[in-house]
Every structure is written in C-alpha cells, then in structure tokens.
Structure 1
C-alpha cells in the first residue's frame, strides 16, 4: 500500500504530528508540546544540559531526541555513548507510558552499553547512570512503585536531577 508521508527535503520520512509530553503522537491538528528540531546540533555540554532539563520536566522521549541528534551528528568514536543515553531515555519513556517490559529491556541495554564506556567524557556520570538504570530496571521488573524522581536521573557528575529549570515551563 503506497501512502503519502510527510518527508523532509532529502526525501526521508518524518512524522510532523504533534506529540504529548510523553512523546505519543496526537491526532492531526492537535496542539502538543514543543518538538525537538530534526536538525538539532549542539555542543556536548549543551546537549547534556538540554536533555537534563527535559528529563527534569518528565519529558524523557524528548530528551531521547536530543541524544539521538548528538548520536547522529557527533564523532564516530562517541556514537555508542550517545546511543546508550538515547536508549536510557527511551527506557524511561516506556516506564512512563506503562510499557514496563520495553522499559526494562531498554534500561538494561543502555546500562550495559554505558558500562562498556572506557572514559566518561563531558562530566557524564556513567557509573551513576549504570547503577540507576540497573536498579530502575530491577524495580520495574519486580513490579515496584517507581517514584517520579527516579525517572529524572542526573546525567553529569555536577548536574542536578530534580525539578524543572525555573525558566522552562513544566
């Protein structure tokens, strides 16, 4: 079946539908939360700060999109790191949406990939993320009630994990 799809200028398919705070597509014409630009290019420190702010707002899907942009646009030697961070954020997204099996699988995959990181660039708290991701996956798998703060992991060793930025709406 050939369906008309929204495509970018290079012909790649894209989904222009608005999304809710958890990244779920909304009906055509509905208003959603601001989208992450498809052509986002930020330096690593800004990528981490932006993703942290989104996580703090409970918008893990959108943090995943920020990490995905870094993964696609960054140097080859950092692809695995940014991909693991994107998977971590998608794992949180699945937990937020109630897809616990998907969340557990992605959190475990992300934690394993992060554990393989030999050097933690950009002050990324790799050890903390590995520990938090594994513990979150175990608790979700066991059916534990998950406190919202656990879905807002601290990305950097000097970053903050709880509460939205005062300049950004919740």
Structure 2
C-alpha cells in the first residue's frame, strides 16, 4: 500500500488501516498492532459496559472510547449524552496516557460536564457521581504534573490501566 495516501472506503471516507498500539497511536504499516474494535456494533448497555470495562482495565482507553461511541451513535436519543460523556472520559484518559496533559484534562472535564445531568442517578448501574469525581481528580493531577514540568516533553504520562475508572462501583 502507498503509505502517502489515506486509506478510503467505497464512499471515500477515511479508513486508516494502519496498525495501532494499545493507546490507539498509529504504527508503521506492517508492524504488529492491537486489534481494533469493529465499528458500528450494536450492543446492549450491559455488553457495552462489560466490554468497555475490560478494555479500560487492560489499559486500552482508546478502544473503550470506540465501544462507547457505538453506544452513543446507536442508542436511544435520551441516553446519547451519557454515552458521549463516557466516550469523552475514555479519550481524556487516552490523551493523558499519551502524555498530552492539556488535551487529557480538557476531555476529562468535558466528559464530566456531559455526565453532570445524570448526577445522582445510576443509569445501567453506572456510578455517574464517582466517574465525575474521578475525571475531575485525574484532570487536576495531570494539570498539576504539567504545571510542575518546565519541559512538556518531560511530563510523565499516566498509566492507563492503573488510572482506569470503575464504571459500576462494586463490579470490578
């Protein structure tokens, strides 16, 4: 494959076939990578949460974000903000694990804001209040790390598996 051209599907949409690592970063063509999540999978909320938690626990928040994105796009309108917020939390963790503290903190807070209308509830057993607290705490810690590091390239990425949130308290 010509590495200078973007991969496109039959409709001309970009479909990057490059292998990716566990944090979703593209690897060189031909390198072994982590299997990607299939797109457009319709899962029950239970299946979505189980698969996303497995991926988060394995240190693969980028892949968990793709699972949440499927739920966001295929689920009922009334739940889209919930799933979008969870996807944003996973992307925020992805960025923080890649060392992008600014993007990580921003997306963690955006996800917490998206979940805020569900505060005080437990849709599908999801610990919304706990997730909002987790996101705000992690965002603060990565910003503090950045503030104390004079050289942004020296900021330590967070360990995605160690920092993975528990989606449903007591189910991990």
TM-score clears 0.5: yes
What is the alpha-carbon distance in structure 1 between the residues aligned to residue 71 and residue 160 of structure 2?
Answer: 26
User: What stretches of structure 2 of length at least 5 have no aligned partner?
Assistant: 147-155
CA displacement, residues 90-121 of structure 1 (integer Å, 9 cap, x when unaligned) = 00000100000000000111111111226431
- Give the corresponding residue for 1:152: 164
CA RMSD in angstroms comes to 2.0
Query: In the alignment, is the contact (CA less than 8 A) between 1:136 and 1:150 conserved in 2?
Result: no
Larger proportion of helix: 2
Shift in alpha-carbon separation, 1:35–1:147, aligned structure 2, 3 A = closer
- Give the corresponding residue for 2:142: 140
- Give the corresponding residue for 2:80: 79
Shift in alpha-carbon separation, 1:57–1:149, aligned structure 2, 3 A = closer
- Give the corresponding residue for 1:163: none
What is the alpha-carbon distance in structure 1 between the residues aligned to residue 13 and residue 93 of structure 2?
Answer: 27
SS in 1 for 2:14: coil
What is the alpha-carbon distance in structure 2 between the residues aligned to residue 139 and residue 25 of structure 1?
Answer: 27
Bigger drift between 31-40 and 6-15 goes to: 6-15
Q: Shift in Å at residue 81 of structure 1?
A: 0.6
Moved over 6 A (4+): none
User: What stretches of structure 1 of length at least 5 have no aligned partner?
Assistant: 161-170
Tell me if 1:14 matches 2:15: yes
Query: In the alignment, is the contact (CA less than 8 A) between 1:64 and 1:89 conserved in 2?
Result: yes
Q: Shift in Å at residue 126 of structure 1?
A: 0.2
- Give the corresponding residue for 2:25: 24
5 Å matches for 1:55-134? 55-117=56-118, 119-134=121-136
Query: In the alignment, is the contact (CA less than 8 A) between 2:72 and 2:79 conserved in 1?
Result: yes
Q: How many residues align?
A: 158
Query: In the alignment, is the contact (CA less than 8 A) between 1:84 and 1:114 conserved in 2?
Result: yes
Question: Under a length normalisation based on structure 2, what TM-score does the superposition of the two structures give?
Answer: 0.84
What is the alpha-carbon distance in structure 1 between the residues aligned to residue 76 and residue 13 of structure 2?
Answer: 22
